[in-house]
Structure 1
Amino acid sequence: MFVYLFPLLFHLLTGASHSVPRCREDERSALMQLKQSLKEGPEYCSRFDIEPWGDDKKLESWQLEGGQEGSNCCTWSGVQCDGRTNHVIGLDLSQACIYGSINSSSSLFRLVHLENLDLSFNNFNFSPIPPEIGSLWRLTMLDLSANVLTGEIPSSFSNLTRLSYLDLSVNQLTGQIPSFLGKIYKLSELYLHGNQFTAQIPSSFQNLTQLSILDLSQNQLTGHIPSFLGNLSQLSILDLSLNQLTGQIPSFVWNLTQISQAKSIDRYLNVYGNNLSGDLHLGMFSGLQGLMALVLSFNDFTLLPEPNASESYPLLRSLAHASLCHESESSALLELKQSFQEDSAYCFPSSDDYRMLKSWSETKEGGNCCMWDGVKCDEQSGHGIVLALSSACLRGSIDFNSSLFGLVHLQHQARSMRVPYSHTA
């Protein structure tokens, strides 16, 4: 009996002593070479709201000294190893205050067993994405966001067929969004916002039936919103804002019940800041009652009256109206704001509204001028019809070139009306 139990006992004892994976020599060497090719320090940390943020000591644990445990790359910060094979399968160097470049000869590409790679929020100094990234075909998650990367997405991305998460946002990538991304069928989250992509949304995206999040905002995309997006039945977030899209909102948008019923905490549709046009009526919103946000502002829509719809969907009237603002009018108001000085010294004794114009901002309420203090918009057209700045503690002049005269929809009979300081449209 002892003869049979000994091998089992030996296996259990030795297994317990090796519960932490032991990294492979070739992969440890690749990681050390990667470290040596990069600079790190607090001066390279990403900056957010002026203050630097990030972990400039992430690579300190990457060293060959310190005995067996110290040199075991599976214990290094940001490194994950497979417990069975000991291969490096995960590398997280996000916000590591790294500066440099990852070129085609980088030792990173010797880590061929990587499944998760996160290099986000570093500074790769205007480098292009090396085509060798396609050799890491086991990747299921790739995050290269906010890295100061340039150039086009290399065609080798078509090899990354296991990806479910891809984030290339907030870089300076150019060219068209490549159609081969539509062949990465397992994608569930795709973030390409904050780049300089041009042309139309590729038709191959209709094959990405697992997508739950698609963010193409803040690019230079043109053309119409493609109707095939309506076939993406798993979609919970669709953000096409701040592009140059034209035409009307396609009919499928009003039937995106999957967005309304998605289990995701965030459920929204955003087409803010395009060149979209057409008539909207509240009945269109009836299938979208589960949305957390519907952003339509800075387009050229006209909201048509529909009394019955306002009774059936009282919240949607507020949502639809709050999302409508004409860009020319918000621009005129912002220019008008620059004509004045606003200070309590200019107030009448009974006035306390000297901060009224502080709400006039491109960031306030998404830049929606209909929500600014002292401004009221027509509920049907979205045009500004009331401007109430009495007792606003302003000093300045209005000449014949003033942008005030660009607000052509102001109603004469409403100009003496007082809009409450804290009003909501």
Structure 2
Amino acid sequence: MASFSFNLISIRWLLLLPLLHAVAIDGLASRQLLCHDDESSALLQFKESFHSNLNACIDSSAYPPKTASWKLEGVDKDCCSWDGVECNDDKGHVIGLDLSSSCLYGSMVSNSSLLRLVQLQRLNLADNDFNFSQIPSEFSRLSRLTYLNLSNSYFSGNIPSKFSDLSKLTSLDLSNNHKLHLRSLKGLVQNLTNLEDLHLDHVQILSPVPEILSNLSGLTTLNLIDNGFYGEFPVGIFKLPKLQDLRVNYNQDLIGSLPEFYSSSPLKILGLWESGFSGELPTSIGNLDSLNQLWIGNSNFSGSIPPSIGNLTQLTTLILYNNSFIGQIPSTLFNLISLNVLDISYSQFSGSIPTSFCNLTLLIYLDITQNFIRISDPSSLSCLRKLSKLTFLAFDGINLTKEIPSSLKNLTQLSVLDMSWNQLTGRVPSWLANLTQLTVLHLAQNQLQGTIPISIFELKKLETLNLYSNNLSGIVSLDMIHKLKYLTTLLLSMNNISFLTKTETNATQNKFGALGLGSCNLTNFPDFLSNQDQLQYLDLSYNNIQGQIPKWLWNTSTKTLMFVNFSHNLLTGFDKDPVNFPWPQLQILDLTFNKLQALPKILPPYTLVYLVANNMLQGEIPSSICNLSSLYSLDLSNNKFNGILPDCLSNFSISLSILNLQGNNFHGMLPQLCAKGSRMKMIDLSQNQFTGVLPRSLSNCRRLEILNLGSNQFNDVFPSWLETLPELRVLILRHNRFYGVVGSPAAMFTAPKLHILDLSTNKFTGKLPFEYFRNLKYMKKVDANNFTHMRAYRVFWVAGLALHEYYLYTMMITNKGRETKYQKIIEALAAIDLSSNEFSGEISEFIGNLYGFQLLNLSNNKLTGHIPLSLGGLTTLESLDLSQNKLSGRIPWQLMQLTFLESFNVSHNQLIGPIPQGKQFNTFENNSFDGNPGLCGSPLSKKCEDLEPSPLPTSSIGDGQNSWFHTEFDWKIIVLGYGSGLVIGVVLGNIVAEKNQHWFVKIKKLQHKMRKRQHA
């Protein structure tokens, strides 16, 4: 049986051999069909046209590249087996090529061998370096392409218009080629009716978004990020039936609003980050029940958040950062228990946050920074222990009080903790050392006290330690910092810390990117800076560093330094005389309040902020300033500069916002400072020797808030053409040679925000120009409790730090008889100074409409007539000077209602009668009333003979239709209780408050006198 079995199997094999041979022959034949010679040749030629360069690798782990396997020897000679190559099974043609992240370096040429792969359907060349070469228009010959990805590969030039011939494309990705341009998006997509995915991020397009995109009914992904789009976004795109991913982030000039959404929408990702979109979030946003990510931060949305947002149960990312949302955060938001990321920072949310926010137990990232939100009870933060997955927590700027909540000690996964800009008190807790994963700790701008606990220096992973501006004390040594071997950002400025720079080790281990040692009791530049070559931010301000800036410091971080602040020291110069600054990347330089006598002439080309005020600098403005095309702030004030201003100042007025040349010796006529589109907010040229007329280009400064031209020699008529500047708040022309009549304004809404006007010490004539204040709605709404200061504000980013520049406006005006330097101008301050001119005529009763003013100076003019009764309505007035005029009549008793009046001067007029007694008038000295022979009563030595109140002058308020006291009969009616309630209340209030019998005597005498007249 065994033998029989063997023979039977052998016979079977003999019968199968021919069949197996045929199959083998067919297999070899079909294998020979794979990878056509001309296609393998084309691929090899393409490989040889580029270098395989490790520097061209986005991901170094991708080296060696895919093309390393491409060869014609051995088992790998079949191109269909090469990495990144895909062939079809039946014909053996190359139909797919994926060379993404292949470290290719070189230029793409128009006759590239790739064009010979005519069967190609999918091509991916993403994440390579094609050396800013152009995309060949010949790519359009690959007519079978359905997928094309050239993203992040350093292409430049125009996207070929012939790409629209690739009508079979379903996916096109040209994103992240920052020097790539597209002339017409409409022209590109008009034939691409099969598109499903379109990615054009960071391609320069600079056009409106074409309506034609609304017709691409198969579109599922549309990413148009940072393209320079402008105009209205087509609302039809939101309604595309298959659209799942829509992102138009970083298109600031692209405007639009959200439509009504329907529940059938498949939208999963909506990104409008840093766009011009505005309006409110529609209630129907709750219908987007498939939405996973909502990115609408840094835009112009407003209104309240609809409670329907709680319906978005699939939401994992919610970014509402930096909008104008108001009201309370709806409690329904805290039902979104799938949220991983929640950022509602830099908005205007108010109210308290309920403890239900701790229900979001999947949160990894939570930022509620800079709102009007309150934690009603700091102990409610004990629920934070439930958010155990948090790696990022930012609670800065929400007025947290008391100590740092101990519930944070349980958040052991925290990598970033930011509680800056609050009112935290107490000590920095030692239990912060429990947060062993911390890489960033921000506790800046609080009221923390005591020493920094040693345990902080045991946080081995710490990269950023920011304790800026607290009340911390004690000693920090460089040896303590060495324990934090990963620390690259150290900010200790604005405390009472003493920083010891001597170390037991020979070299500094840390390579700092940002170092803030301001107000750290330094007397010399720290030696360890000589070993720093990666610094971007260096703050040594408010120390006692004396003498010259040493030579070795110029060699510190020469390729990286972007921010340098040596202000408020005792620096006198440089121990070498450099021609230019050695830090070519420098953007922000602050050397104010030193004793410097000279600076390098050539400024770094990328300078944004150049502050050298309050030194001893002299000479002309260096011509190199004309090269600073991005300059934002220029402050040369309080030095000894001279010469004329260069005409080139107008060249960068589009970027320049702050120009302060006050307190120098500049002369000559002003150049044309403002071109159209100017962003200038503040111009201070006061205390110089400028002459001539004002350049009319100042009317282009549509964002100008303060214009100070005081104490010069300008010789011009009143610049009425400035009246249309919508943001102008402060106009100071004092101490010049302006002349002529200040006529009626031409514009109806003349300078609607103007609240400080100083025209003093000029040669203006005619009537007082109160017409300019007739439409000042700002004055009528002024908030006397607003103690914020006028300033320009901008955020600069350096070394990963948000640098908030608050440039405070300053001015010199006369207040309470003295010239006063305002280092800060309170927003609520309102003042008019028209003194020392040649104004004539009467003071209009309209002056009573100037609600909210604190300072009014009309002295040293040629004014006549009575003091208006309506002045008694200016209840916020603190200083009133009407001296050195020709005013007549009595001092109105209504001025006694000015309970805030601290300075009052009516000296050297022609006033008569008794000085009002009581209240503020009991505080004024003789010199307030000198030079009026007809005045009597305290504080003057001249006694009044007749205590009867004499008839008040005929006058009216405002438009003359509503008069207060036309005759003595009106006075009688008010006393008897038949007049207006407001005035009755004032009069009776005075009577009761004074509790003085002589008031009643006066009333009785007046009634008796009036009866006599009636009988007569």
Q: What TM-score, normalized by structure 2, do the two folds share?
A: 0.32
Residues 239/374 of structure 1: CA separation in 2 closer, same or farther (3 Å cut): closer
Q: What's the CA shift for 1:218?
A: 2.0
Q: Partner of 1:13 in structure 2?
A: 24
Q: What's the CA shift for 1:250?
A: 4.3
SS of residue paired to 2:278: strand
SS of residue paired to 1:121: coil
1:63, 1:70 within 8 Å by CA — same for their partners in 2? yes
1:182, 1:208 within 8 Å by CA — same for their partners in 2? no
Over residues 181-210 of structure 1, what are the superposed CA-to-partner deviations in whole Å (9 max), with x where a residue is unaligned? 132111111111122221111222223211
Q: Partner of 1:107 in structure 2?
A: 113
Residues 290/77 of structure 1: CA separation in 2 closer, same or farther (3 Å cut): closer
Q: What's the CA shift for 1:129?
A: 0.7
**Aligned 1:34-183 pairs, distance under 5 A:** 34-46=46-58, 52-66=60-74, 69-172=75-178, 173-179=180-186, 180-183=188-191
| Separation (CA, whole Å) in 2 of partners of 1:228 and 1:134 | 29
Structure showing greater Rg:
2
| Separation (CA, whole Å) in 1 of partners of 2:373 and 2:273 | 19
Structure 2 residue 265 is matched with structure 1 residue 258? yes
Over residues 335-378 of structure 1, what are the superposed CA-to-partner deviations in whole Å (9 max), with x where a residue is unaligned? xxxxxxxxxxxxxxxxxxxxxxxxxxxxx967943563653346
Structure 2 residue 423 is matched with structure 1 residue 390? yes
- Counterpart of 1:40, as a letter, is S
Residues 133/280 of structure 1: CA separation in 2 closer, same or farther (3 Å cut): same
**Aligned 1:266-305 pairs, distance under 5 A:** 267-281=268-282, 283-304=283-304
Q: Partner of 1:211 in structure 2?
A: 219
1:197, 1:221 within 8 Å by CA — same for their partners in 2? yes
Moved more, 106-115 or 392-401: 392-401
Structure 2: which 5+ runs fail to align? 1-15, 326-340, 348-365, 375-395, 401-421, 425-442, 449-466, 470-493, 496-787, 794-803, 808-1016
Q: Partner of 2:367 in structure 1?
A: 372
| Separation (CA, whole Å) in 2 of partners of 1:390 and 1:93 | 55
Q: Partner of 2:194 in structure 1?
A: 186
1:139, 1:163 within 8 Å by CA — same for their partners in 2? yes
Q: Partner of 1:26 in structure 2?
A: 38
Query: Alignment identity in percent?
Result: 32
- Counterpart of 1:216, as a letter, is L
1:176, 1:197 within 8 Å by CA — same for their partners in 2? yes
Residues 101/246 of structure 1: CA separation in 2 closer, same or farther (3 Å cut): closer
Q: What's the CA shift for 1:126?
A: 0.4
Residues 146/367 of structure 1: CA separation in 2 closer, same or farther (3 Å cut): farther
**Larger strand proportion, structure 1 or 2?**
2
| Separation (CA, whole Å) in 2 of partners of 1:369 and 1:385 | 9
| Separation (CA, whole Å) in 2 of partners of 1:367 and 1:54 | 38
| Separation (CA, whole Å) in 2 of partners of 1:131 and 1:256 | 43
Over residues 219-255 of structure 1, what are the superposed CA-to-partner deviations in whole Å (9 max), with x where a residue is unaligned? 2111111022144211011111111344431425x23
| Separation (CA, whole Å) in 1 of partners of 2:24 and 2:172 | 41
Q: What's the CA shift for 1:12?
A: 3.2
Q: CA RMSD in A?
A: 3.5
Q: What TM-score, normalized by structure 1, do the two folds share?
A: 0.72
Over residues 231-284 of structure 1, what are the superposed CA-to-partner deviations in whole Å (9 max), with x where a residue is unaligned? 4211011111111344431425x2373224xxxxxx111111012222335x23
SS of residue paired to 2:182: strand
Q: What's the CA shift for 1:71?
A: 2.0
| Separation (CA, whole Å) in 2 of partners of 1:274 and 1:40 | 39
| Separation (CA, whole Å) in 2 of partners of 1:91 and 1:150 | 22
| Separation (CA, whole Å) in 1 of partners of 2:227 and 2:319 | 21
Greater length-normalized contact order (CA 8 Å, ≥ 6 residues apart)? 1
Residues 248/206 of structure 1: CA separation in 2 closer, same or farther (3 Å cut): closer
| Separation (CA, whole Å) in 2 of partners of 1:6 and 1:232 | 61
SS of residue paired to 2:233: coil
Q: What's the CA shift for 1:73?
A: 1.4
1:92, 1:119 within 8 Å by CA — same for their partners in 2? yes
Over residues 283-310 of structure 1, what are the superposed CA-to-partner deviations in whole Å (9 max), with x where a residue is unaligned? 23222233112222111111237xxx52
2:345, 2:370 within 8 Å by CA — same for their partners in 1? no
Structure 1: which 5+ runs fail to align? 261-266, 330-363, 407-425
Structure 2 residue 314 is matched with structure 1 residue 314? no
Residues 7/186 of structure 1: CA separation in 2 closer, same or farther (3 Å cut): farther
**Larger helix proportion, structure 1 or 2?**
1
Moved more, 104-113 or 393-402: 393-402
| Separation (CA, whole Å) in 2 of partners of 1:314 and 1:367 | 15
| Separation (CA, whole Å) in 2 of partners of 1:105 and 1:206 | 36
Matched residues, number: 346
